[in-house]
Structure 1
Amino acid sequence: MRFSRRSLMASALVVGLAALSACSSGTSGSTAASSGSSVAPVINVVASTNVWGDVAAQVAGGLNANGVSITSIISDPSADPHSYEASTQNQLALSRAQVVIENGGGYDDFVANMLKTANNSSSTVLNAVDISGIKAPAGEDLNEHVWYDFPTVTKVARQISDTFGEKDPANKHIYDTNEKAFEDKVSGLQNDEAGIKQAHNGAPVAITEPVPLYMLEACGLENKTPEEFSEAVENGTDVSASVLKETTDLFNDKGVKLLAYNEQTTGDTTTAVLNAAKANNIPVVPVTETLPDGKNYISWMQMNLDNISKALG
């Protein structure tokens, strides 16, 4: 069994949450366009990250539209999601949530722990990994970064729409319409992936973590990074000198076309790889685990695809 930084974080929260008070007010949210509606909240939604919070907002029509109030627990674009610390504000939001959207797959176990502490067993919990139907290959760990997998995002958006419609039947047609519009935009992103695949199928690439792998694979790109390297970075463990050399040699030998670099999890090891890429004029494509400032899900993923296409030439 793999013990990642996420697992350790979740264990620490079990102790820390017991001390939290449930007498705080206010919420935080992700960025999305509002429909302009000023309806009193009918559905309180809490998402583990602003990625899923934004998908929910796209379905609702905005962060506080059509009676849907959305809170995202992790929303700081400069924060490392692996080192999240709970707050009374988040605890209060979860205690009132009617819908909770978690990523699952071990990524955000803190949500389940917080729900238990909040004594909220009545909320509808949507787990993106479960909804995706994706299973880990035999003998391998699951890549839990399913928000980079567009078929999964579409499935989750549909489930969100169905759930909103069940809890607020009067606005079901609005949620269905918004979800369809969002789904059409995701289809456009998939068309861009197909275009990159047609032009660059089989091109070798490197990563620091598996965060963007679903997207890279959909673009037909082949990850050449030693598994021991990306696993060690993701789990916060040491990388052996031989594995680090094997990884940096990918750039020294011009064996890859780009480096997909997770900007939110950095350290000496990833810096060494980044420097090797730059020294050999290998394009670097920055990726993140949460929404950058000023982006919604669609514009964020479009930016990632545009950066990949530009890097490949």
Structure 2
Amino acid sequence: MFINLLTAILCSWLQLYLMQPLMKKHGLNKPKLNDEKRFNKLTIQNKTLRSGGIAFISSTLIVLLINKTNVNINSFLIIFLCCLPLAFLGLIDDYYHIPKPIRFYFQLITSLTLLIISPLPKTIISLNFIISISLLIFLLISITGIINFINFMDGMDGLVAGCMIIILFSAGIKTSLSSYILVGALIGFLIWNWNPAKIFMGDVGSTFLGAIFCGTILHSNSWNNCFELVLIATPLLADAFLCIPRRYLHGEPIFREPHKLHLYQRLNQAGWSHAKVSSIYIVGTFCLSLAYLIGNSYTLYFIALSELAFGFYLDKYIAIPFAKAISEQSQE
């Protein structure tokens, strides 16, 4: 395990070190080819490279293929390969903006594939036909939603990578899958992604991580365990999810992108650094992970609720007001 972890870390870091001239050559430090109008002046001036997710995805794949005879590694490899088409789509989207319907279609197909290879949905099929179909549709929408939520949260140095390292490590322990290899590759990436970031993971990385997270937790031994693994991601998922109804209530188009209305973005606008905001989310995820691994369900639920309450406190007293963020956004 340690050798594979170390190999993934070094491979990911080294790839990003060597790939930077090539990424600049292909314009991955500039706005997308047909997307210039979606970027404000500050974003255009930002020369940080995107699509760094290529490194932790390819590094993980290399280590998985080297050890594919291992049963646990082979199981994770199957999930990994099912999520790979979404990564290819994300890579294209990082370079040339892909229409939302096409992205949504591929996300639905990936979600359906993850459900098919998971052992958990089999327990639903045995139920009443109407109930089982309703639950499967709910799961399909939920998985697609999580993929998008993780993508929405990838807007701050080290935020998604730092949280997903903890989440995937915890999920791997309980599901006996070899997601620790991806954890290692993410550590190698985080060295470049921490504030001030030199490289972003891009859609190729964020949508892939959302899908791999869903695929991993769907291999839990029970629905209760699956739900508890979702709770570990409360800091990421709650911020993304709660932003949607708030935008709707303020008359904002909920599918507009990009925007700067998430709590993590408004905390940054209030003066908190990228490192401080990301650290808050990572520490929150770590506390939930500890409760999950060494505590019990009630402890996990209590900490999740406590962090939601803390999030409401930050929203009310620290972050710039939601309405003000909308007003400033409209003026750009």
TM-score normalised by the shorter chain: which range applies?
A: under 0.3
Structure 1 length-normalised TM: 0.28
Structure (1/2) with the larger strand percentage: 1
Structure (1/2) with the larger helix percentage: 2
State the structure with bigger RCO (CA 8 A, min sep 6), 1 or 2.
2
Structure 2 length-normalised TM: 0.27
